[in-house]
Amino acid sequence: MIKLAPSILAADFNILGEQIMLVESTGADYLHIDVMDGKYVPSISFGMPVIASIRKNSKLIFDVHLMIEEPIRYLEEFKAVGADIITVHAEACTHLHRTVAKIKELGLKAGVSLNPSTPLNVLDYILKDIDMVLIMTVNPGYGGQAFITSMYDKIRALRKTLNEEGLDVDIEVDGGITLDNVDLVLEAGANVIVTGTAVFGGDIQSNIKGFRRIFREFESRLN
Ligand code: DX5
Ligand code: ZN
């Protein structure tokens, strides 16, 4: 099942609530929420108070992408404000296994993200314990960057490993995904699609419908 996860980093924060209602009613599965600390990544986005506010008005699954150093320090707080899935960066955790175990203990889904240059083998001893791998298809820190095309091979290699090991782990992709390249990303094996600019830039409803149409066509080709 392919899922669409619009990233609110590209939303108009002046009317954030309205835009979330629009993506929810038009057909999003997850709401992708990018938290940046100005240390792990150069920029700073937003944190708990914003998530707590939007949680009041949305039933979407909150897919919280923590681009922060040592996220283990804040897991309870992100759960308290409404996270359903918490994704941490392998590069930002001194004790990745402990961090993932804590997310699971809190009763949440656990994702691990890898920067473009981070090899897949850092997942070797954690893959069975997680629900999702987030393959960054840009260097994290900003919306609106161009997709790094060498990531197609990385997605493909991860899908192959998951198939061989019979693991039910989602592959999420994040960064530079558009209506023009999403088909190739699906073809490579991703099944959770994050998209910021390509949803919130322009007509939100027609953008979401465009992604949905491509998902449907892809799924019908599989059957
Ligand atoms: C980048 C963030 C992304 C970003 C994607 O660090 O993790 O989620 O919002 O934005 P687009 O789709 O515009 O590349
Ligand atoms: Zn993200």
Which ligand has the shortest distance to the CA of 4? 1
Give kind and range of the element (H or E) at residue 111: strand 109-114
Annotation marks residue 180 as catalytic: no
pTM of the model: 0.98
Distance CA 168, CA 92 (A): 25
List 37, 63, 131, 174, catalytic entry: 174
Annotation marks residue 183 as catalytic: no
Question: Rounded to the nearest 5 degrees, what angle is found at the Cα of 84, between the Cα atoms of 36 and 21?
Answer: 80
**Nearest CA owner, ligand 1 atom 4:** 143
Cα atoms in the Cβ-side hemisphere of radius 13 Å centred on 44? 5
Q: Helix, strand, coil proportions of the chain in percent (round to 5)?
A: 45, 20, 35
**According to the model, what pLDDT value does residue 104 have?**
98
**According to the model, what pLDDT value does residue 223 have?**
79
Distance from the alpha carbon of residue 223 to the mean position of ligand 1, in angstroms: 31
Most distant pair of Cα atoms in the chain: their distance: 46
**According to the model, what pLDDT value does residue 100 have?**
98
Which ligand has the shortest distance to the CA of 63? 2
Give kind and range of the element (H or E) at residue 97: helix 96-105
Shortest-distance atom of ligand 1 to CA 197: 13
| Residue stretches of the chain with pLDDT short of 70 | none
Say how many domains are in the chain. 1
Domain ranges, residue 195? 3-222
**According to the model, what pLDDT value does residue 110 have?**
99
| CATH code of the domain covering residue 210 | 3.20.20.70
pLDDT in tens, 42-65: 999 999 999 999 999 999 999 999
Any residues with CB less than 8 A from the CB of 75 and at least 6 apart, and which? 86, 99, 102, 103, 106
Distance from the alpha carbon of residue 33 to the mean position of ligand 2, in angstroms: 7
- Show the ligand 1 pocket: residues with CB < 6 angstroms: 7, 9-10, 32, 34, 65, 138, 140-145, 174-177, 194-198
**According to the model, what pLDDT value does residue 12 have?**
98
- Shortest CA distance to 5 belongs to which of 147, 170, 203? 170
